[in-house]
């Protein structure tokens, strides 16, 4: 019998595509020429322990904290997800309130459900034409922190999956004026620290706890990450206890060594960002001035409170040409050997890291131009249509809904029912419907659209069924 996983991966690798996906290392990481297995040692006295560091791991954590400008930094072996769990659990206890970004990752909803927290959701502006959310509505944040003075923390995602950065500096000022802690899910922004022309980091803007992925935009393995602490109101011991709860007891030193290597490589090679950003700027100008495609940036009118946009997160909109982003992605993969991060109806997303090259970016730009030439203009965008998104229809606390009995029904007939299991689009990770939320016609239409254009939805089975609370449940009364 042939090993299926190995054979499948080798078949994929043999295609030698240009990777504009995560992980950020693009398969090009080397650790001083050594076999990774040589670093996979036990956590003995000579090599330290990840969960209770005393020597080399502690020394590395201090160096990492110095690089990122944190008081304390902690290695994560369960990805940014583990960091989100530990961050929230370090601040909130069962029954506490937490003010949450409506564009949060599914891990945030899972933590809220697990800890039986009461979520209060912050508005974001949403542009229907581009299918992209703007920044956090800071006026709404001011209002919510005043109305819910008993909330323990505020959690904001910045940058979002589409590279939109919120005004973290203003959010930090608002939170601290109300004696609330600010947690920032900066999973997609670990690289910001390494080049002056990137958006300011959440730590620089005053966030108290920040979570990073080391695999999304840097050179760490999938599942690697960091949690940074920058407040005296949460103890190091509390964070370590929560990490011990959510992380495995045995952490691979090969994994941790690769994480450290990713950070130090970015620190020592930050000048490599200069030609990359120069090529990205050139590519954006060519696409926006010479084709009907739209390369998204902060100048697009997609709503208020956008601080900046991550220049390494390429989002190209296909709404003005007669080809969907999904079909364009297929062409890029099969004809040009270029793999995007993801595609939906109109947007193609590409993730550029320190391990990409200017030549690869040029090939991407030229390939998109070629696709635009063979696609006729579809229509001109009308005036942007905005709506404010917020989870107004959450009727039952997520933990209560999650722990109730339910039933499976087809999503097409689910309007008015209460969701039991979260639905989210993969690989975005942003929830479409959360436990306890009332399902609306807008939700159903969104699911239809995602499926129509080849998207994948976790929580939806192969027959189009989702889990809802039973009609006999008292929540419907």
Reply yes or no on whether the pLDDT at 430 is more than 70: yes
Question: How many domains does one find in the chain?
Answer: 3
Considering the domain architecture, whether residues 301 and 255 belong to the same structural domain is answered as: no
Give the CA radius of gyration of the chain: 22
Average pLDDT (337-345) is 93
Q: What percent of the chain has pLDDT over 70?
A: 92
Residue 477 has pLDDT above 60, yes or no: no
Residues 211 and 283 in one domain: no
Question: What CATH number is associated with residue 423?
Answer: 3.90.100.10
Look at residue 254 in the predicted model and tell me its pLDDT. 87
More confident position, 76 or 472: 76
Of 46-60, 61-75, 198-212, 343-357, the range with the lowest mean pLDDT is 46-60
* Reported confidence tier of residue 465, pLDDT bands at 50, 70, 90: very high
* Same domain assignment for residues 75 and 98: yes
d(CA 403, CA 116): 10
Q: What is the DSSP string of 130-174?
A: TTEEEEE-HHHHHHHHHHTTT--EEEEE-S-TT-EEE-HHHHHHH
Domain extent at residue 441? 391-476
Average pLDDT over every residue of 203-220: 97
Among 238, 268, 298, the domain boundary falls at 268
What average pLDDT does the segment 429-455 reach? 92
3-state percent breakdown (helix, strand, coil) of the chain, nearest 5: 35, 20, 40
Report how far residue 124's alpha carbon sits from residue 430's, in angstroms, rounded to the nearest whole number. 14
Please tell me whether the overall predicted TM-score, pTM, comes out greater than 0.85 for this model: yes
Residue 182 has pLDDT above 60, yes or no: yes
Q: Please tell me the predicted confidence (pLDDT) of residue 374.
A: 87
Residues 188, 58 share a domain: yes
Q: Would 10 be classed as within a structural domain?
A: no
Residue 389 banded pLDDT, cuts 50, 70, 90? low
Q: Would you call 27 helix, strand, or coil by DSSP?
A: coil
Q: Residue for token digits 């999503």?
A: 411
Q: Which residues are CB-neighbours of 83 under 8 A, at least 6 positions away?
A: 74, 76, 211, 212, 225, 226, 227
Both tokens of 163, joined, read 């590279």
320: domain CATH number?
3.90.1150.10
Give, in degrees to the nearest 5, the angle at Cα 447 between 403 and 163: 95
Q: How far apart are CA 192 and CA 199, in angstroms?
A: 6
Average pLDDT estimate for 109-133: 90
Would you state the structure tokens that stand for residue 317, as one six-digit string? Answer: 């909109």
pLDDT of residue 32: 66
Mean pLDDT of 163-186: 97
Tell me, yes or no, whether 383 lies in a domain. no
Residue 211 located in a structural domain? yes
> What's the whole-number average pLDDT of the chain?
90
Q: Is residue 15 part of a domain?
A: no
Same domain, 123 and 108: yes
Stronger pLDDT, 393 or 459, i.e. the higher one: 459
Looking at residues 43-72, what average pLDDT do you find?
A: 88
Average pLDDT for 462-472: 90
CA-nearest of 202, 197, 384 to 304 is 384
Give me the residue label for tokens 């939109």.
164
Same domain, 281 and 338: yes
d(CA 435, CA 403): 10
Instruction: pLDDT band for 130, please (50, 70, 90 cuts).
Output: confident
* Better-predicted residue by pLDDT, 456 or 88: 88
What are the angstrom distances between the C-alpha of 353 and each of 39, 319, 448?
25, 26, 33
- Please state the φ and ψ torsions of residue 163, each to the nearest 5 degrees: 85, 5
Specify whether 222 is located in the same domain as 346.
Answer: no
Does 277 lie in the same domain as 303?
Answer: yes
Confidence of residue 383 (pLDDT cuts 50, 70, 90): low
- Shared domain for 204 and 288, answered yes or no, is no
Same domain for 289 and 215: no
Confidence of residue 471 (pLDDT cuts 50, 70, 90): confident
């Amino acid at each position: 019998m042939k090993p299926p996983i190995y054979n499948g991966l080798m078949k994929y690798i043999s295609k030698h595509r240009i990777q504009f996906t995560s992980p950020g290392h693009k398969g090009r990481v080397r650790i001083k020429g050594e076999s990774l297995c040589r670093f996979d040692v036990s956590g003995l006295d000579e090599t330290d322990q990840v969960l209770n560091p005393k020597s080399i791991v502690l020394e590395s954590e201090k160096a990492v904290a110095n690089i990122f400008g944190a008081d304390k930094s902690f290695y994560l072996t369960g990805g940014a997800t583990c960091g989100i769990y530990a961050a929230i659990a370090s601040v909130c206890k069962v029954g506490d309130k937490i003010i949450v970004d409506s564009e949060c990752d599914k891990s945030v909803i899972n933590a809220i459900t697990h800890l039986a927290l009461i979520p209060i959701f912050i508005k974001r502006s949403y542009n229907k034409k581009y299918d992209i959310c703007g920044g956090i509505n800071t006026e709404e944040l001011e209002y919510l922190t005043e109305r819910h003075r008993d909330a323990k923390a505020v959690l904001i995602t910045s940058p979002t999956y589409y590279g939109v950065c919120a005004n973290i500096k203003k959010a930090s000022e608002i939170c601290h004026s109300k004696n609330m802690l600010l947690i920032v899910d900066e999973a997609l922004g670990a690289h910001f620290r390494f080049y002056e022309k990137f958006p300011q980091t959440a730590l620089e803007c005053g966030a108290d706890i920040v979570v990073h992925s080391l695999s999304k935009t840097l050179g760490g393995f999938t599942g690697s990450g960091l949690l940074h602490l920058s407040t005296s109101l949460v103890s190091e011991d509390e964070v370590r206890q929560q990490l011990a709860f959510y992380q495995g007891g045995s952490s691979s030193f090969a994994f941790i060594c690769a994480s450290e290597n990713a950070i130090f490589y970015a620190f020592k090679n930050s000048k490599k960002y200069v030609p990359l950003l120069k090529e990205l700027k050139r590519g954006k100008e060519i696409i926006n001035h010479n084709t009907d495609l739209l390369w998204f940036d902060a100048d697009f009118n997609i709503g208020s409170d956008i601080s900046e946009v991550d220049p390494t997160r390429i989002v190209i909109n296909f709404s003005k040409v007669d080809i969907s982003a999904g079909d364009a992605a297929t062409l890029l993969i099969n004809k040009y050997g270029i793999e995007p991060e993801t595609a939906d109806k109109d947007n193609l997303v590409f993730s550029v890291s320190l391990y990409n090259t200017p030549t690869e970016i040029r090939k991407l730009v030229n390939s998109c131009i070629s696709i635009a030439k063979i696609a006729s203009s579809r229509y001109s965008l009308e005036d942007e249509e905005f709506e404010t998104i917020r989870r107004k229809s959450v009727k039952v606390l997520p933990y209560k809904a999650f722990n109730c009995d339910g039933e499976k029904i087809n999503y097409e007939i689910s309007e008015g029912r209460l969701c039991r299991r979260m639905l989210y689009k993969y690989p975005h990770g942003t929830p479409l419907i959360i436990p306890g939320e009332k399902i609306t016609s807008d939700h159903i239409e969104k699911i239809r659209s995602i499926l129509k254009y080849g998207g994948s939805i976790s929580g939806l089975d192969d027959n189009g069924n989702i889990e809802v609370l039973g009609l006999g449940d008292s929540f419907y009364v």
